[in-house]
Amino acid sequence: MVIGDGRPAGLNRAFDLATAADLRFGSNRLGEVPQAMAGWQVHHALLVTGRTSRRAEPLRTALAAAGIATTTFAVGGEPSLETVRSGLDVLRRNECDCVLGFGGGSALDAAKALAVLAGNGTDPLDHLEVVGRGLPFTRPSLPWAAVPTTAGTGSEVTRNAVLAAEGVKVSLRSPSMLARLAVVDPDLLVGCPPETLASSGLDALSQVIEPFLSSRANPVTDALARDAIARSARSLPAAHEQGLDDAAGLREDLALVSLLGGLCLANSGLGAVHGLAGPLGGRLGAPHGALCGALLPAVLEVNLAAVADRAPRHPVRRRFDEVAALLTGRPDAAAADGVEWVRRTCVALGVPGLGHHGLEPDDVPAMAQAGQRASSMRANPIPLSDEEVAEILRRSL
């Protein structure tokens, strides 16, 4: 089916594109952070890191030389209500006027949550989706900068922060949460453990495949996703096998896939992988990327079958074939070849099924219902029935 100008129906013509105000990518760009932040006329940064702040020490020294004091706040795992409330207390006691997130997705999500909540003087439950009041933010965020040290979430360019609350993972969301500065330096991936590389790499891959198949896909994110899917396919398996320490090209590819995934999901949405990964993460406590890897093959299979059954002429059907061609490098690849590529790659990267993380068959109905309520599910290429969502979970055990 086509619309009046000959363009396929079901793909967006009107769209917005939102990202960090100042986005910098490339080797050795980390050194630009202090001078850029000094231009904001700020004096004291809350430096939000992962479990250990050791890797951030050179950055702290450089910030001090630029006239910016720092107070460090370490985030030991995925951020929760308690994490954020504790961080707000540290921020206020030290009179911090800006925030710098340095670490993986958990550190960056915590940083942006702290910046927007400090700017508004509110509690996370005032604004959280699903479990909170869902109120919009009415005041600007404190200025904040993002420096990712893993290649998975793309959180440096997204406008939401995922928090664990009441046994589920839910988001704070606002355009004012976009970073004023995002610096993506692939050299920060040196020393990344294989399991982190695999988990974060599959998160990033799902975050370029899902927006490409999304009901909210647009021409800009399509172009970014096509490039990123091909980059991930050629570099993620190789990086897991070889490591990243002596492979600048692989580091650059994976860092760029993660960044492009953040841009894509922020502007075109996600789908059933992330719709289910959120509640599963809250229930199981498993790494987000590992859950995405466990879910992605079955999500592709079930979505493909649903489209073939209920909307065989939908333009997204051809996109499944295009994803397969990008993953396999074969122009004649069919959708099933792409699913098989993903399945084999997850096995090669050592990603286990959901049962390994503690999901039991009896848990499936409740988790399916929780996934159906997730905001990510709204951009799935076709609405899925409760039984289809449950089937995804059963196939992913």
Q: Look at residue 5 and tell me whether its pLDDT is greater than 60.
A: no
Confidence label for 367 from pLDDT (cuts 50, 70 and 90): very high
| 30-184 and 194-395 have identical folds | no
pLDDT of residue 12: 54
pLDDT of residue 2: 32
Q: Look at residue 3 and tell me whether its pLDDT is greater than 50.
A: no
Domains of the chain by residue range:
30-184, 194-395
C-alpha to C-alpha distance for 261 and 18, rounded to whole angstroms? 13
Looking only at the bridges linking them, the beta strands covering 98-103 and 168-173 are unpaired
Least confident span in 31-40, 167-176, 306-315, 349-358: 167-176
Q: Look at residue 6 and tell me whether its pLDDT is greater than 50.
A: no
DSSP string over 185-241: -GGGGTT--HHHHHHHHHHHHHHHHHHHHSTT--HHHHHHHHHHHHHHHHHHHHHHH
What are 240-274's pLDDT values in tens digits?
988 888 889 999 999 999 999 999 999 999 999 99
Which H or E run contains 181? strand 181-184
C-alpha to C-alpha distance for 259 and 182, rounded to whole angstroms? 10
What are 32-90's pLDDT values in tens digits?
999 999 999 999 999 999 988 999 999 999 999 999 999 999 998 889 999 999 999 99
Fold of 30-184: Rossmann fold (3.40.50)
Fold of 194-395: Dehydroquinate synthase-like, alpha domain (1.20.1090)
Two structure tokens written together for 172 = 């704070």
What are 82-136's pLDDT values in tens digits?
999 999 999 999 999 999 999 999 999 999 999 999 999 999 999 998 889 999 9
